[in-house]
Amino acid sequence: MNVVPLVCLFLLTRSGTTSAAGHEVIIVEEDSDVILPCSLDSKENIVAALFDWKKVAQRDQGRKDVFLYDAGDHYNNGRDGQSPEFRGRVSHFPDQLNHGNASIIIRNTKVEDTGNYTCDFPRLQTPQTFSVELVVDPFLRDRSGERTGAAPEPYIRTLHEAKYWRLLQCEAHGNPRPEVEWQDRSGNKLPADKPEFSERGSIFYVNLNITVKETDLYRCVATQETLSHQIHAVIPVTISASSPGAAGNVVMVAVSVLITLLSQQTKI
Ligand SMILES: *[C@@H]1O[C@H](CO)[C@@H](O)[C@H](O)[C@H]1NC(C)=O
Ligand SMILES: *[C@@H]1O[C@H](CO)[C@@H](O)[C@H](O)[C@H]1NC(C)=O
Protein backbone atom coordinates (compact mmCIF):
# COMPACT_ATOMS: atom_id res chain seq x y z
CA MET A 1 0.00 0.00 0.00
CA ASN A 2 1.52 3.29 -1.14
CA VAL A 3 -1.46 5.35 -0.10
CA VAL A 4 -0.29 6.44 3.34
CA PRO A 5 3.08 7.98 2.32
CA LEU A 6 1.40 9.70 -0.61
CA VAL A 7 -1.25 11.20 1.63
CA CYS A 8 1.43 12.41 4.05
CA LEU A 9 3.36 14.05 1.24
CA PHE A 10 0.17 15.69 0.04
CA LEU A 11 -0.59 17.06 3.51
CA LEU A 12 2.95 18.37 3.89
CA THR A 13 2.88 20.22 0.61
CA ARG A 14 -0.61 21.55 1.19
CA SER A 15 0.01 23.36 4.43
CA GLY A 16 1.83 26.57 5.18
CA THR A 17 4.42 28.14 2.97
CA THR A 18 6.55 26.42 0.39
CA SER A 19 9.27 28.04 -1.59
CA ALA A 20 10.74 26.32 -4.63
CA ALA A 21 13.15 28.08 -6.94
CA GLY A 22 12.17 31.48 -5.55
CA HIS A 23 8.47 30.90 -6.12
CA GLU A 24 6.70 31.34 -2.81
CA VAL A 25 3.32 29.72 -2.30
CA ILE A 26 1.12 30.58 0.67
CA ILE A 27 -1.79 28.30 1.44
CA VAL A 28 -4.60 29.36 3.75
CA GLU A 29 -8.16 28.38 4.46
CA GLU A 30 -11.10 30.37 3.23
CA ASP A 31 -12.32 33.14 5.61
CA SER A 32 -8.90 33.64 7.23
CA ASP A 33 -6.44 36.54 7.19
CA VAL A 34 -3.20 36.24 5.29
CA ILE A 35 -0.04 38.35 5.10
CA LEU A 36 1.52 38.58 1.63
CA PRO A 37 5.20 39.30 2.23
CA CYS A 38 7.23 41.88 0.34
CA SER A 39 10.41 43.37 1.79
CA LEU A 40 13.39 45.14 0.26
CA ASP A 41 16.71 43.47 1.03
CA SER A 42 18.24 46.92 1.49
CA LYS A 43 15.73 47.57 4.31
CA GLU A 44 15.63 51.18 3.12
CA ASN A 45 12.89 53.51 4.34
CA ILE A 46 9.91 53.40 1.96
CA VAL A 47 7.63 55.89 3.74
CA ALA A 48 8.04 58.28 0.78
CA ALA A 49 8.22 55.54 -1.86
CA LEU A 50 5.64 53.91 -4.11
CA PHE A 51 4.70 50.27 -4.02
CA ASP A 52 1.99 48.61 -6.02
CA TRP A 53 0.37 45.23 -5.35
CA LYS A 54 -1.44 43.61 -8.26
CA LYS A 55 -3.08 40.31 -8.83
CA VAL A 56 -1.86 38.79 -12.08
CA ALA A 57 -4.46 38.24 -14.83
CA GLN A 58 -5.88 34.73 -14.86
CA ARG A 59 -7.74 32.66 -17.41
CA ASP A 60 -11.14 34.07 -16.46
CA GLN A 61 -10.31 37.50 -15.07
CA GLY A 62 -8.11 40.48 -15.85
CA ARG A 63 -5.39 42.00 -13.70
CA LYS A 64 -6.62 43.42 -10.39
CA ASP A 65 -5.43 46.40 -8.38
CA VAL A 66 -4.99 45.08 -4.88
CA PHE A 67 -3.15 47.79 -2.99
CA LEU A 68 -1.21 50.91 -3.93
CA TYR A 69 0.82 53.07 -1.59
CA ASP A 70 2.33 56.33 -2.82
CA ALA A 71 4.17 58.36 -0.19
CA GLY A 72 1.35 58.12 2.31
CA ASP A 73 -1.59 58.08 -0.13
CA HIS A 74 -3.24 54.70 -0.47
CA TYR A 75 -6.54 52.98 -1.12
CA ASN A 76 -7.65 53.17 2.50
CA ASN A 77 -7.32 56.93 2.78
CA GLY A 78 -9.14 58.17 -0.29
CA ARG A 79 -7.10 57.06 -3.27
CA ASP A 80 -9.17 55.65 -6.19
CA GLY A 81 -8.43 52.67 -8.35
CA GLN A 82 -8.68 49.60 -6.13
CA SER A 83 -10.51 46.64 -7.65
CA PRO A 84 -13.88 46.32 -5.92
CA GLU A 85 -13.33 42.74 -4.71
CA PHE A 86 -10.46 43.95 -2.51
CA ARG A 87 -12.13 47.07 -1.15
CA GLY A 88 -11.99 47.26 2.64
CA ARG A 89 -10.06 43.99 2.97
CA VAL A 90 -6.45 44.96 2.36
CA SER A 91 -4.06 47.04 4.41
CA HIS A 92 -0.35 47.65 4.76
CA PHE A 93 1.77 47.93 7.92
CA PRO A 94 2.62 51.63 8.48
CA ASP A 95 5.10 50.86 11.29
CA GLN A 96 7.05 48.53 8.99
CA LEU A 97 7.67 51.04 6.20
CA ASN A 98 10.82 52.54 7.69
CA HIS A 99 12.64 49.26 7.20
CA GLY A 100 11.53 48.45 3.69
CA ASN A 101 8.59 46.19 4.49
CA ALA A 102 5.69 46.57 2.04
CA SER A 103 3.83 43.45 3.11
CA ILE A 104 0.04 43.58 3.07
CA ILE A 105 -2.67 41.71 4.89
CA ILE A 106 -5.77 40.42 3.10
CA ARG A 107 -8.62 39.76 5.50
CA ASN A 108 -11.49 37.34 5.16
CA THR A 109 -9.94 35.44 2.24
CA LYS A 110 -12.18 34.08 -0.50
CA VAL A 111 -11.52 31.16 -2.80
CA GLU A 112 -11.49 33.70 -5.65
CA ASP A 113 -8.42 35.40 -4.10
CA THR A 114 -6.36 32.42 -5.26
CA GLY A 115 -3.74 33.51 -7.76
CA ASN A 116 -0.36 35.13 -8.27
CA TYR A 117 0.36 38.52 -6.77
CA THR A 118 3.14 40.96 -7.57
CA CYS A 119 4.58 43.71 -5.41
CA ASP A 120 6.25 46.39 -7.52
CA PHE A 121 8.61 49.22 -6.64
CA PRO A 122 8.67 51.01 -10.04
CA ARG A 123 10.38 54.19 -8.82
CA LEU A 124 13.41 52.76 -7.06
CA GLN A 125 16.83 53.36 -8.60
CA THR A 126 16.71 49.74 -9.63
CA PRO A 127 12.98 48.94 -9.92
CA GLN A 128 12.07 45.68 -8.18
CA THR A 129 9.21 43.23 -8.43
CA PHE A 130 8.40 40.48 -5.95
CA SER A 131 5.85 37.77 -6.47
CA VAL A 132 3.94 35.36 -4.32
CA GLU A 133 1.28 32.80 -5.07
CA LEU A 134 -1.76 32.59 -2.81
CA VAL A 135 -3.93 29.50 -2.64
CA VAL A 136 -7.17 29.77 -0.68
CA ASP A 137 -8.57 26.34 0.14
CA PRO A 138 -12.34 26.16 0.33
CA PHE A 139 -14.11 24.30 3.08
CA LEU A 140 -17.44 22.58 2.89
CA ARG A 141 -20.39 24.82 3.51
CA ASP A 142 -23.77 25.72 2.07
CA ARG A 143 -23.15 27.23 -1.35
CA SER A 144 -26.61 26.73 -2.84
CA GLY A 145 -27.47 29.68 -5.02
CA GLU A 146 -23.77 30.42 -5.33
CA ARG A 147 -22.67 27.51 -7.53
CA THR A 148 -24.59 26.10 -10.46
CA GLY A 149 -25.63 22.53 -9.84
CA ALA A 150 -25.34 22.87 -6.07
CA ALA A 151 -27.82 20.60 -4.30
CA PRO A 152 -30.76 22.35 -2.63
CA GLU A 153 -31.83 21.28 0.85
CA PRO A 154 -32.58 17.53 0.77
CA TYR A 155 -36.18 16.40 1.07
CA ILE A 156 -37.02 13.98 3.89
CA ARG A 157 -40.18 11.92 4.02
CA THR A 158 -41.39 9.24 6.39
CA LEU A 159 -42.19 6.16 4.31
CA HIS A 160 -43.50 4.11 7.20
CA GLU A 161 -44.24 4.73 10.81
CA ALA A 162 -44.48 1.76 13.19
CA LYS A 163 -44.54 1.46 16.92
CA TYR A 164 -40.85 0.68 17.33
CA TRP A 165 -39.28 2.15 14.23
CA ARG A 166 -39.56 4.53 11.30
CA LEU A 167 -38.50 4.15 7.70
CA LEU A 168 -37.19 7.50 6.49
CA GLN A 169 -36.24 8.51 3.00
CA CYS A 170 -33.95 11.33 2.00
CA GLU A 171 -33.94 12.65 -1.53
CA ALA A 172 -31.20 14.95 -2.77
CA HIS A 173 -30.33 16.13 -6.23
CA GLY A 174 -27.77 18.20 -8.07
CA ASN A 175 -25.01 18.11 -10.63
CA PRO A 176 -22.50 16.60 -9.97
CA ARG A 177 -24.29 13.81 -8.13
CA PRO A 178 -24.28 14.56 -4.41
CA GLU A 179 -22.97 12.11 -1.83
CA VAL A 180 -25.74 11.53 0.67
CA GLU A 181 -25.57 10.21 4.21
CA TRP A 182 -27.68 9.97 7.33
CA GLN A 183 -26.34 11.23 10.62
CA ASP A 184 -27.58 11.32 14.18
CA ARG A 185 -27.87 14.50 16.25
CA SER A 186 -24.14 14.46 17.05
CA GLY A 187 -23.10 14.10 13.44
CA ASN A 188 -22.17 10.40 13.51
CA LYS A 189 -22.73 8.65 10.21
CA LEU A 190 -25.47 6.02 10.45
CA PRO A 191 -25.74 2.78 8.53
CA ALA A 192 -28.40 3.19 5.83
CA ASP A 193 -29.74 1.21 2.89
CA LYS A 194 -27.99 1.20 -0.48
CA PRO A 195 -28.58 4.53 -2.25
CA GLU A 196 -30.77 4.58 -5.35
CA PHE A 197 -29.63 6.71 -8.23
CA SER A 198 -31.62 8.24 -11.07
CA GLU A 199 -31.14 11.00 -13.58
CA ARG A 200 -33.54 13.55 -15.08
CA GLY A 201 -32.14 15.95 -17.62
CA SER A 202 -28.69 16.74 -16.34
CA ILE A 203 -29.74 16.47 -12.70
CA PHE A 204 -28.71 13.48 -10.63
CA TYR A 205 -31.08 12.21 -7.95
CA VAL A 206 -30.14 10.15 -4.92
CA ASN A 207 -32.57 8.43 -2.57
CA LEU A 208 -31.27 7.04 0.67
CA ASN A 209 -33.49 5.14 3.09
CA ILE A 210 -32.80 4.45 6.71
CA THR A 211 -34.63 2.55 9.42
CA VAL A 212 -34.36 4.23 12.80
CA LYS A 213 -35.36 2.78 16.14
CA GLU A 214 -34.46 5.52 18.57
CA THR A 215 -35.66 8.97 19.42
CA ASP A 216 -33.20 11.43 17.93
CA LEU A 217 -32.82 14.35 15.58
CA TYR A 218 -31.86 12.72 12.30
CA ARG A 219 -29.97 14.61 9.68
CA CYS A 220 -29.62 13.91 5.97
CA VAL A 221 -26.46 15.48 4.57
CA ALA A 222 -25.76 16.06 0.87
CA THR A 223 -22.20 16.86 -0.18
CA GLN A 224 -20.69 17.88 -3.49
CA GLU A 225 -16.97 17.86 -2.81
CA THR A 226 -16.00 19.45 -6.14
CA LEU A 227 -18.28 22.42 -5.42
CA SER A 228 -17.16 22.59 -1.74
CA HIS A 229 -20.87 22.46 -1.06
CA GLN A 230 -22.67 20.78 1.81
CA ILE A 231 -26.29 21.11 2.87
CA HIS A 232 -28.56 19.19 5.19
CA ALA A 233 -32.14 18.69 6.34
CA VAL A 234 -33.27 17.40 9.72
CA ILE A 235 -36.21 15.39 11.00
CA PRO A 236 -37.03 14.88 14.65
CA VAL A 237 -38.16 11.33 15.44
CA THR A 238 -39.86 10.31 18.66
CA ILE A 239 -40.18 6.63 19.44
CA SER A 240 -41.91 6.15 22.76
CA ALA A 241 -41.96 2.36 22.95
CA SER A 242 -38.79 0.31 23.24
CA SER A 243 -38.12 -2.53 20.82
CA PRO A 244 -39.69 -5.90 21.70
CA GLY A 245 -36.51 -7.85 20.94
CA ALA A 246 -35.18 -10.19 18.30
CA ALA A 247 -38.43 -11.60 16.90
CA GLY A 248 -39.81 -8.11 16.45
CA ASN A 249 -36.62 -7.05 14.69
CA VAL A 250 -36.96 -9.76 12.04
CA VAL A 251 -40.52 -8.69 11.27
CA MET A 252 -39.41 -5.07 11.17
CA VAL A 253 -36.57 -5.72 8.71
CA ALA A 254 -38.90 -7.75 6.47
CA VAL A 255 -41.51 -4.99 6.43
CA SER A 256 -38.92 -2.33 5.77
CA VAL A 257 -37.52 -4.27 2.80
CA LEU A 258 -41.05 -4.70 1.46
CA ILE A 259 -41.80 -1.00 1.77
CA THR A 260 -38.53 -0.10 0.08
CA LEU A 261 -39.40 -2.40 -2.82
CA LEU A 262 -42.92 -0.99 -3.08
CA SER A 263 -41.67 2.60 -2.99
CA GLN A 264 -39.26 1.82 -5.81
CA GLN A 265 -42.07 0.42 -7.94
CA THR A 266 -44.51 3.24 -7.33
CA LYS A 267 -41.85 5.75 -8.35
CA ILE A 268 -41.74 4.33 -11.92
C1 LIG B 1 6.88 42.67 7.51
O2 LIG B 1 5.76 42.98 8.32
C3 LIG B 1 4.89 41.91 8.59
C4 LIG B 1 3.70 42.47 9.39
O5 LIG B 1 4.11 43.04 10.59
C6 LIG B 1 5.63 40.83 9.33
O7 LIG B 1 4.77 39.73 9.55
C8 LIG B 1 6.83 40.39 8.53
O9 LIG B 1 7.57 39.43 9.26
C10 LIG B 1 7.69 41.60 8.17
N11 LIG B 1 8.76 41.15 7.29
C12 LIG B 1 10.05 41.34 7.57
C13 LIG B 1 11.03 40.83 6.57
O14 LIG B 1 10.41 41.92 8.59
C1 LIG C 1 1.18 31.26 -10.57
O2 LIG C 1 2.44 31.25 -11.17
C3 LIG C 1 3.05 29.97 -11.21
C4 LIG C 1 4.46 30.13 -11.73
O5 LIG C 1 4.51 30.98 -12.83
C6 LIG C 1 2.20 29.06 -12.06
O7 LIG C 1 2.76 27.77 -12.11
C8 LIG C 1 0.81 28.98 -11.45
O9 LIG C 1 -0.03 28.19 -12.26
C10 LIG C 1 0.21 30.36 -11.28
N11 LIG C 1 -1.03 30.20 -10.51
C12 LIG C 1 -2.20 30.70 -10.90
C13 LIG C 1 -3.36 30.42 -10.00
O14 LIG C 1 -2.34 31.33 -11.93
129 pLDDT more than 90: yes
CB 53 within 8 A of CB 118: yes
pLDDT in tens, 138-147: 889 999 988 8
Ligand 1 centroid to residue 103 C-alpha, Å: 7
pLDDT in tens, 23-71: 899 999 999 999 999 999 999 999 999 999 999 998 888 999 999 999 9
Ligand 1 centroid to residue 37 C-alpha, Å: 7
Collapsing DSSP to helix, strand or coil, 244 comes out as coil
CA neighbours closer than 13 Å in the CB half-sphere of residue 248: 10
Domains 3-137 and 155-237 share a fold: yes
Mean pLDDT of the chain: 87
Regarding the beta carbon of 263 and ligand 1, being less than 6 Å apart is answered no
Q: Which CATH number fits domain 155-237: 2.160.10.10, 2.60.40.10, 3.30.1320.10, 3.30.70.1400?
A: 2.60.40.10
- The secondary structure of residue 58, as a DSSP letter, is B
pLDDT of residue 60: 81
Nearest CA to ligand 2 atom 12: 115
Domain boundaries, the chain: 3-137, 155-237
CATH class of 3-137: mainly beta
Per DSSP, the residues of 139-208 read --B--TTTSTT-----EEEEEEE-SS-EEEEEEEEESSPPEEEEE-TT--B------EEEEETTEEEEEE
